[in-house]
Structure 1
Amino acid sequence: MPDPPLERFFNQLAPTYDLLYPDWSAAVAQQGRALDAYVRAALGDRPHTLLDCACGIGTQAIGLAAAGHAVTGTDLSPVAAARAAHEAAARGLRLPVAAADMRRLPFPDARFDAVVCADNSLALLTTPEDVRAALGSMRRVLRPGGLLLLGMRAYEEARREHPEVLPPRVARTPDGGRAVTLQLWEWHDDGEHYDFDLIQLLPRGGTWEVRSRRATSWALTREQVTAFGTAAGFERLVWHEPAADGYFQPLLTARC
């Protein structure tokens, strides 16, 4: 089972997750358009049945639902999943959600036309056994010929340079204030795993409220992810770069 602190991390982050983006609503629309284009190109220009197995607060799922697809969202965090459903409803969209572990998805075999796993979620699984279990679970719930869309951070440079801090991001709060998000990374001795402190500075009455949360990630290279995907039985694995497709991270597409 996932480490309970990871669930707690995302439960606590869910209310301010949108502030990770300078403009979350714009990101929802843009990412939805980019992913929808891949789904329709691969599976046909019509609505499809999709699972977002790490839906968070709905960053990808809401945009895909707006594009006409029948989307189900699951997430390790019940708080995040509930917010995703609420955000979808506020936009006049239906998004059924559930709290679920991506390594043991609670659906019958061959249930979905496509599975989305985005926002670097796979990197939060820090052992080969967990990654294999998650990819096997995603493949199991895909119909024959179905599509996997896996969004990952480009870790190759980070594995070489081992940065200790990511550039801060500034977002506007609903009342017009500014919120700042940054990450501090502490690398493990193996050079592949790192602990990260996600720090948010939130404006509060002329001063700042500091919220800090820690989790661990595995800086998986695209070569490693491709090898795991191939071992899980996926075929036609192709990486798409952000400059080429408009999606904000490298995106792996693969077929079942």
Structure 2
Amino acid sequence: MTGSARDFYDSLAADYHRIFPDWEASMARQAAVLDPMIRRELGPGPHRLLDCACGIGTQAIGLARAGHRVVGSDLSPVAVARAAAEATSRGTNLPAVAADMRQLPFRTAAFDVVVCADNSLAHLLTAPDVTAALGAMRRVLRDDGLLLLTLRDYDDLRRTRPASSPPQVSHGPDGRSITFQLWHWHEDGERYDQEYFQLVPDGAGWQVRVRRTTSRATTRDEVADAAARAGFTDVTWHPPETSGYYQPVLTARATTGRSAHLP
């Protein structure tokens, strides 16, 4: 993962909640989808869970409040500091560390579940990086543990190559803010540069904040193939219309008896 991705999320961490209409409601709503998926696969739990791209805690806090023993990690030290603080302010414990998902600093087979949500995998810009990250996730999972990963529908987006995302209005104590993205596709049709605009209330006007990063539009088949190479079986994509989640969700099980490693 590039240094620019860390810079992007370090800068965005203080404003990340603004990408949701209501961040508190989004935490609860996402946990209400992901928690039953975990319990259907692994039983009632609670389970040892790593959110390896936890950001400011959108999924990790909700899953911790659902009773799981959650640890968070993220490339951005600013984001993980906020995640831990947000969890504490809600009466929840969330140990969190700064770490690259390709080199997770946890012991082998430490977790029952690894979560990688909110399109985080798209910041890995090459196929070997994706395979390395999935290998690291497999290593820290116990045999037959569960991978739960969410990603934009890049099969469709690579066909349509949108130039922007719809504006999102967020309501907070300081008033309404607006978030939208401009996308600049590379000639290879796989990568795109994002200009991430946020209009934040500033007295009687607006303050405009712009961050930039690059993402890779990795298809579902590419992710599934990389997961299989990393040591996962039962790789299944669940579309939003069946899962209730806002992005396609991949579930996969860690192959029993195979300890994957980074290439």
Structure 2 distance, partners of 1:184, 1:24, is 22
Question: SS in structure 1 opposite 2:102?
Answer: helix
For 2:257, the equivalent position in structure 1 comes to none
Q: How many residues align?
A: 254
Measure how far apart 1:248 and its partner are. Answer: 1.4
Q: Residues of 1 paired with 2:246 and 2:26: CA distance?
A: 9
User: Does structure 1 retain, via aligned residues, the 8 Å contact 2:22–2:172?
Assistant: no
Aligned to 1:145: 144
Give every structure 1 segment of 4 or more consecutive aligned residues whose post-TM-superposition deviation is greater than 3 Å.
none
Matches within 5 A, 1:162-181: 162-175=161-174, 177-181=175-179
Which residue in 2 is equivalent to 1:27? Answer: 26
Task: Read off the aligned partner of 1:189 and give its amino acid letter.
Answer: E
| Partner Cα separation in structure 2 for residue 139 and residue 174 of structure 1 | 41
Deviation, 1:253, is 0.1
SS in 1 for 2:73: strand
Q: Secondary structure at the match of 1:191?
A: coil
Q: Does 1:216 align with 2:195?
A: no
Are the aligned partners of 2:50 and 2:111 in contact in 1 as well (CA < 8 Å)?
yes
Q: Which residue of 2 aligns with 1:68?
A: 67
Structure 1, unpaired ranges of 5+: none
- Cα distance, 1:23 vs. partner? 0.8
Which ranges in structure 2 are unaligned for 5 or more consecutive residues? 255-263
CA distance in 1, matches of 2:167, 2:22: 15
Residue in 2 that maps onto 1:206? 204
Name the Cα RMSD after superposition: 0.8
Between 1:19-28 and 1:222-231, the stretch displaced more is 222-231
Question: How far is 1:3 from its partner?
Answer: 2.2
Residue 198 (structure 2) pairs with residue 193 (structure 1): no
Structure 2 letter corresponding to 1:138: M
CA distance in 2, matches of 1:113, 1:144: 8
Matched, 1:89 2:95: no
CA distance in 2, matches of 1:157, 1:115: 26
- Quote the sequence identity (%): 57
Q: Distance in 2 between the 1:206 and 1:221 partners? A: 44
Which amino acid in the other structure matches residue 69 of structure 2?
Answer: A
Distance in 2 between residues matched to 1:197 and 1:217, nearest whole Å: 11
Provide the C-alpha distance between the structure 1 equivalents of 2:20 and 2:163, rounded to a whole number of angstroms: 21
Q: In structure 2, what is the equivalent of residue 107 of structure 1?
A: 106
- Whole-Å separation in 2 of the counterparts to 1:40 and 1:158: 31
Which of 174, 181, 184 is equivalent to 2:182?
184
In structure 1, C-alpha distance between the alignment counterparts of 2:185 and 2:4, rounded to whole Å:
19
Distance 2:39 2:151 in 1: 21
Name the TM-score, length of structure 2 as normaliser.
Answer: 0.95
